[in-house]
Structure formats: structure tokens, C-alpha cells
Structure 1
Amino acid sequence: MVSGGTSGIGLAIARGFAALGATVLATGSSEDKIAGLRREGGIAGLTFRSLDVRDRAAVQAVVGGLDALDVLVNAAGIARPHREFEEDTFLEVMDVNLNAAMRLAMAARPLLARRGGSILNFASMLSYVADAAVPAYGASKTGILGLTRHLAHAFGPEGIRVNAISPGYHRTDMTRELWEDPGAAAKIEAKTAVRRWGTTEDLVGTALFLASPAAAYVTGADLPVDGGYVVSGF
């Protein structure tokens, strides 16, 4: 199950799992996006469903309707640049980005325990560095790292692993304003070790690894996939 799986990073992850033969439920909040994806068709085993991750009853209903679950990917996320200093907006971003990850993890816990499954949370490079325009986004993604570590220990005795991925600058709708601006895009490329923007596909292999038996002894970890941006010295 992939929350935030109807666009951007979440959709790429959902398609990546399905391409390897997994049965994937990708959820999102936009009925229009879901309708469009259903019309497109595509990969076998991938289905889409509407879910407001802020709604505990809805989360329980969707997860409770599953027969089994091996992997939960918490990819739902929003950012509201400059508006996050308003309390209502700050709380909305925190609820979608952080609280919902806990909400889904708790709902999925019994199913994951039966299968020795895993949870993959999406943090961000802003878990490590600051952007003055998005205090709620940065706080929520920093919180994801703490949540990942604590749940790894809380769920570990049940055979559930919990890890995180911290993306950098990837070309998504959320970062469109930056990568469509030649000057801003060039500055980001110059600070990235591999001298390019990331794509959503750059995150798929990392997600598959962390969810696979190859990572059987990896839990409570965060794996940055940012092209070396955060460790840049300039």
C-alpha cells in the first residue's frame, strides 16, 4: 500500500513495486487524478483508491479491508510555501506529512506483523537542512525521522522493519517552480555531486531494496537519495 501514490514520488514507487509483480494499492486525495490514472490503465496489479489520510475512520476502513499487507509506504505529503506560518496551514501540513504516517502505521501494524512486513516512510533533505519558506514541511519531515526510529524499536519485536528515505531535489509537481526556473535549477545542479536533478525513478530502487529480504537487518535507518546535495560543502 502506497499513500500519496497517485502522483510524483508515490506514483513512481507504486509502479515500481507493481512492475516486479506486487499487488499494489495506491491511494490519493484527488478524485480527478485517480480517474485519469484509471483511464490510462497500465501496469497489472496496480489499483487506485481515494483516501484522505487525515481521516482516521477512512484509514481504518481502507486498511481494514485488506486481506494481507507486506509493505506500507507513507509517501503522502504536502508543502505550502510561505503560508506555513499561519497556524491552520502549519497544522494541516503536519497532519498530512507526519500524523498520517503514524495513523497508517498503527492501522497496518496487525497485518504487517502477520507477514513480517515493513514500513517505508518518506522524509526529506529538509530533515537535515533548512528552508525558511516551509517551517511545517521541514518540521514534519524531521519528525518522520524520529517516528521511523521509534517505531522501528516498537514494532521490531513483531518482525516489522521501519525505515525512511530522504529525497533531495527531484523533478515533481512540488518542485516545478524551481526546476522550470533556469537560474534556480542551475544553482541546485551545481550543489549536487552528480550535477543533475533527481527523477522520481531514482527513488524506486532504494524503496525496493529497503522493502526486500536484502535489507532484512536494516531498520530504524534513513537512506538519503539526494545526489549528494546535503553533504555539499558549498
Structure 2
Amino acid sequence: MDDVIATFRPGLFDGQTVLVTGGSSGIGLAIAQGFARLGGSVIAVGSSATKLAANRADPPCAGIRFEQVDVRDPAAITAFARGLATLDVLVNAAGIARPEAEFEDDTWNEVLDVNLTSQMRFAMATRPLLAASQGSIINVASMLSYVTDALVPAYGASKTGVLGLTRHLAHAFGPEGIRVNAIAPGYHKTDMTRGLWTDPEPAEKIAARSALKRWGTVDDLVGTALFLASPAAGFITGVDLPVDGGFVVGGF
């Protein structure tokens, strides 16, 4: 991540408060660390008490405030937001996938609740604070917003919905000075994709479709988030930016 951070002005987010959902691991944690290294006062929320406790003791996470919030609980989100004095950036990175089980009604609803509805809940709960700061929202979508995976219909539907939500909120919140954009990760090495990148056959097949012939890392997403929250992106809103090494436009 050092090269990414060096691209930006030191202290770029000094005095700014950043909230990252799904911030206890994977993509969310990497983005939280990126904002913290550029001076942001970062709050990372997650559901696992074990992960949160481990992060609090981890030196690379120094300076990040970790809080447990159930993103499926509207009352908990509202109460948490009311406890914030200010907010400049909201990163909606909470997400789950339940391969094969997503055809079942309860699992379908759970995946959509975490991946899509929680983004709307956090956006609405923090809207007054973001309007006051003229801040921005960054929603995490997916390459499955554009292509399919037959094993995860709820995940694909939820991440496609993130694109629609991003565009609609950009116009709903725009008059208040709030920008809303989305990042669409491709195949990145996270716990969620571990079964693929640790298996040589699918790992090589996925890398081959990428224009850059490799898997992404969570660090590959950090610079995009920092850019979208920065003054350099001050007239960018309502867009979705694929960060997938060219996977979606490739072919096997």
C-alpha cells in the first residue's frame, strides 16, 4: 500500500471523519487503513467481535476506531449515526456471499439486506452530516454487477442494485452537495474468494481473463476510494468505476 499512499498529498484527509462499513476485514479494512494513513479520523464498523478485537491490537490499524454494528438492524444504524458529531466520507463496504444457498428465501433476503439495503440505511442515517460537510459516499459494488455467477443470484442481484442505488442517490443527494459513487471490484484476494485463488485451476483461469494477467489485491482498491473522496473528484458523481484489471471486458 505504500506506493498508493505516496501518490497522494500527506494529510489529505486531516480533520475529516470517515466511516467504513464492513471495515473489519478485506476490502473495507484496507480502505479504512488508507484513509487513516492520510490523516482521516476513521471509524470502521463490523459484525464480528473477534475480528474487531484483533484489529484493535494490530499495529497497521493504529488510529482506527473499531465498532460493532449489525448492518441488518435499522435501529442500531440510526443510533450509531446519532452518536457521530461529523462525517465527511461514508464507504459502504459490508458484503456477504452464500454460494448455492442463495436460492433459499431466507438466505436471499439476508444477502440483499447486508449488501444492498444496508447501504441505503447508512446513507439515509448519515445524510444530514454529509450534507453539512459537503461530503461523499462510496458504495462497493462488484464485477458481478455486470457479469454472472450462477451460484450467487442474491449476491449478483444485490451488487447490480448497488449501481442503481448509487445513481439514484447521486441525484437525490446532489442538491445538498453530497457526491455518491461506486467502486466495482473484480477478483481480489480476500477471505471471500480464498477458495478460488488457492485452487490453481480456477486461479489461473481467472488471471488469464484479466488484461493484466493477475489477481487483484485489496490494496488495488485503496487508491480508487481515496481519489473518489478527494477534491480531485469534486465533479464526479453517480458513476461506477470497475477496478478489475480488465476482467469484465475480457473473454476466456
Q: TM-score, normalised by structure 1?
A: 0.99
Count matched residues.
Answer: 234
Partner of 1:168: 186
Counterpart secondary structure, 1:174: coil
Partner of 2:237: 219
**1:69–1:112 CA contact under 8 A, matched in 2:** yes
Partner of 2:175: 157
Counterpart secondary structure, 1:147: helix
Partner of 1:108: 126
Deviation of residue 64 (structure 1)? 1.0
Partner of 1:95: 113
**1:2–1:25 CA contact under 8 A, matched in 2:** yes
AA matched with 2:248: V
Are 1:10 and 2:28 matched, yes or no? yes
Deviation of residue 45 (structure 1)? 2.9
Deviation of residue 62 (structure 1)? 1.2
Are 1:25 and 2:25 matched, yes or no? no
Partner of 1:129: 147
Give the one of 197, 201, 209 matched to 1:179: 197
Partner of 2:224: 206
Partner of 2:71: 53
AA matched with 2:74: R
Alpha-carbon separation, structure 2, partners of 1:121 and 1:161: 11
Alignment of 1:59-78 (within 5 A): 59-78=77-96
**Please, what is the CA RMSD of the aligned residues?**
0.7
Alpha-carbon separation, structure 1, partners of 2:172 and 2:212: 37
Counterpart secondary structure, 2:45: strand
Partner of 2:13: none
**2:55–2:61 CA contact under 8 A, matched in 1:** no
Alpha-carbon separation, structure 2, partners of 1:36 and 1:142: 32
**1:21–1:45 CA contact under 8 A, matched in 2:** no
**1:51–1:58 CA contact under 8 A, matched in 2:** yes
Deviation of residue 6 (structure 1)? 0.3
Partner of 2:98: 80
Deviation of residue 38 (structure 1)? 1.2
125-134 or 35-44, which deviates more:
35-44
**1:53–1:96 CA contact under 8 A, matched in 2:** yes
Residue segments in structure 1 that go unaligned for 5+ positions in a row? none
AA matched with 1:59: I
**1:19–1:43 CA contact under 8 A, matched in 2:** no
AA matched with 1:15: Q
Which deviations, in whole Å up to 9, do the C-alpha atoms of 1:130-162 show, x marking residues without a partner?
A: 000000000000000000000000000000000
Alpha-carbon separation, structure 1, partners of 2:131 and 2:208: 44
**1:22–1:45 CA contact under 8 A, matched in 2:** no
Q: TM-score, normalised by structure 2?
A: 0.92
AA matched with 1:213: P
Q: Percent sequence identity over matched residues?
A: 70
